[in-house]
Amino acid sequence: MTTAYIFPGQGSQFSGMGRELYANNPEAKKLFEQANEILGFRITDIMFEGSAEELRQTNVTQPAIFLHSVILAKTIENFAPDAVAGHSLGEFSALTAIGVLSFEDGLRLVAARANAMQKACEAVESTMAAVLGLPDEQVDQICEGIKNESAEIVVAANYNCPGQLVISGSMKGIALATDALKQAGAKRVLPLPVGGAFHSPLMMPAREELGEAIEKTVFKAAPCPIYQNVDAKAHTEAEAIKANLIAQLTSPVRWTQSVQNMAQAEIAKFVECGPGKVLQGLVKKIDRKLETEGLA
């Protein structure tokens, strides 16, 4: 069976993540300790024993999910996916798992990404909201209308699955969109507990900062296709992967389209590699015929 490994993004973290892996696998322990040295603090202490609040800090959340996902992949015997994809942050995990990025470079880029995003969040008050029960095209049209009428930023950020789309933008933009989407028949519009407008134009300062770090980093050609968030298409060439990774911070995550394209490429099984089961649920909502499995 043709199999894709998929890697989760921010929001999948939990206290205790990676603890059994550290305790039971010497290779995993070695990589976790290497990560502590690279980051300059013992992220393992927070992953294994930290509170939910500590794990929500961006400079902890992103490296923690990356480490859990990548180290898990590196300890799988005969890890040889036919394709990979990652949701937002998970794209870095996917690229490191298949060797496009070294473990050290992947972790350094994720730490740089987290810090750049945190600074962008602090510069402008902004937020995100999940929209349930409307077609993607209708949400897009409503956001575009608000942007044109009010000049406020509000855009589609995550196409997660049919009927579930996350919007991102300024506080006023999200408030205006919430009212308009409810009037249009959305079942719910739920504010998300995030510190900023990820995957929106408000992340441009973070994109520029991360872009500089990415350009200085060695990327190898991918040994299997990676379906990237920006265009939902398969890529293997290093320069194209880098360009898409830089664009990702201000572009929507096209997860629905990525899974649909993988299914069209006859990928029948999706293995979620990392904390949580969010992506397995989304895959099933996109196409019930697809088989899913989780590794955590």
Active-site residue set = 88, 199
Count of beta carbons in the 10 Å neighbourhood of residue 5: 29
C-beta pairs of 263-266 under 8 Å, 24+ apart in sequence:
263/287, 263/289, 263/290, 265/2, 265/83, 265/225, 265/234, 266/2
SS3 content of the chain, % helix, strand, coil (to 5): 50, 15, 30
Cα–Cα dist 219/225, whole Å: 14
Identify the DSSP state of 1.
-
> Dihedral, CA atoms, 106, 112, 117, 123, nearest 10 degrees?
-170
> Identity (one letter) of the amino acid at 195?
G
The tokens for 192 are 């998300």
In order, the DSSP letters of 113-171 are HHHHHHHHHHHS-EEEEEEESS-HHHHHHHHHHHHHHH---EEEEEEEETTEEEEEEEH
- CA atoms of 160 and 152, how far apart (whole Å): 23
Beta bridge partners of 85: 6, 227
Residue 228: phi, psi to the nearest 5? -95, 150
